[in-house]
A and B are shown apart, each in its own frame.
Chain A
């Protein structure tokens, strides 16, 4: 965790290790961690775990049930569902990682500006954050995709717009709390530049809780990607995504249940895994955030 980065390395490592051991004492945390590790390994080793090509169409093998050859059966085009689920995991994790990282970066910068800058700028930015948050997520996604067209980038942009206001607000509140503290005043009186004060003195102190909250948002991000792909607003076919598999399952639901089950299960496993892990991590690292 990045809050440890400001401590001496050895102490930080033992602190992390202690937190990790506390995590392992919580059954729910261990369960969540196992699911997350399972999902990551499945996505990383997708090519090793299955010989099937997730996009290869095979009309003679349509709507097959699960068997030794096709572990989760095949879809309406005869594509192997197990391979599609594994490769869909790559898309989900890619979106989660990239969009969370970008949202964090933008949120931190905007939050620092709002918290440290002049009062009028702060008020203006808060108004913008609140206005952005007042769009219901799906409506925002629908409106945006009407204009730019469906793509993976559109998904990332929606996630950023949804996440940034919340992150920026947290950083802003923390920055305001810290900017009048003695060590900041000391740095100011010694003539440190604003950039130095923000980057060296304030940022390391405000970033910790945010990283935990961001990690708890990962299931939400995965749900946004799957949801947009389900509506046909995200990943374009034939690229496999859990959402688009679920959509295939929805349109074929009267013929076979397998496609819908195969599309929904990985979403359930992943969101549950990250949520259980996140909840436990939060309690272990920062009991003050409990109940948020």
Chain B
């Protein structure tokens, strides 16, 4: 595994400054560690020989101690703040990019949300614990070894021999745990998705008396996760065991070796004390790196999943001459979805002239939604060309209004949800749009337009949700109107009322309406029938006769 993923520095700029600061603090720590050992040894040696305590040594020691406190505070504060900043930068990049990818390429929202909110938290361990220790592990052992070598080459030899074994073991064990940690992360992510799926489906499960049985499934999934994790940990902690053994045994060996050389008078007491005090310090950072290893791996894996999404390419930007006139046309357009044999649309040629109404009739799954997706620029043609592909997608959409089959309602008030279509609209405009859409039910809500809506509009019926979508379209007031089954969710009485309103909404606009409801053909200038991805355009009058 890479100790430091360069992509982390590329995507999270906060990580760069932090890394520099950590190096500086590590150098300061090294100097203080050495100074403390030397001063402690000198005071103890003076007491041993009975030469009396030196007040200056005690004063220096006090200064060193105070500085260590400061450096510790600084290091910890920088690390935790950097972690928060890096998480924020990665999270925002992730969500932004996911949105740029659009509905066509967006992964399961629950899993990405878990990654953005909970998954990235694992980076705390990486930044606040692992990375500083990694830098310390590069600086402290070298400095300590140099000092010990000057004092007692033999002890330096013991340490120099055992010290490199620690990273070697770390790498060996790390290679083994990496794949397992990744699998464990997948499991955790799936667990999040599974949990949400089951909780959302609770009403359905209860109707069929299956809700209680799912508790066993959740336990099984969780226990599988536990067993898999424990298997990983049994190996991962072996690294801790080996590292601990190497470090403590080496210190024990040094202590015994130094003791025996003292016994034979080959070493001054003060030097022996310096060696004994510094020997554990040589291993401490490496041991800490080992201890933080598996916790940090989770963070690295989470970051890698973020990079994976960030490196998925967003759909191509507009191509061609941006100055050319945009036309609502399709020319021999075929759309193929990855992994599907049958194209969703094949060789569709179509023109909707400004101010005209096209009604597209077709059964479920015939390609109606893909057709609208082309106009909305959610879907790009696999073959053929469109008359608007040269306009940047965002600019093209400013002239569109869309009434989806299943509108999404956001956490926020009713007014906020309508205002989605025109962020700067005033309250009166929103109220008027709601009135035009026949959304009278809003008046009956406890706080009217200000009533908060639960996620995905849990408090509204399908009909009421559809009316919010219609209100958005009224507020949007765009020249091109795309409608997907505008009355499918409404009962006959309301549908009849809404139909007049939709008629009014369509007046003076270019309209593409897809539906399975043939009655809409009465309002069309032209009718197209879509079946198995193939489109046949008819003139209504001719068709009717």
> A and B: real partners?
no
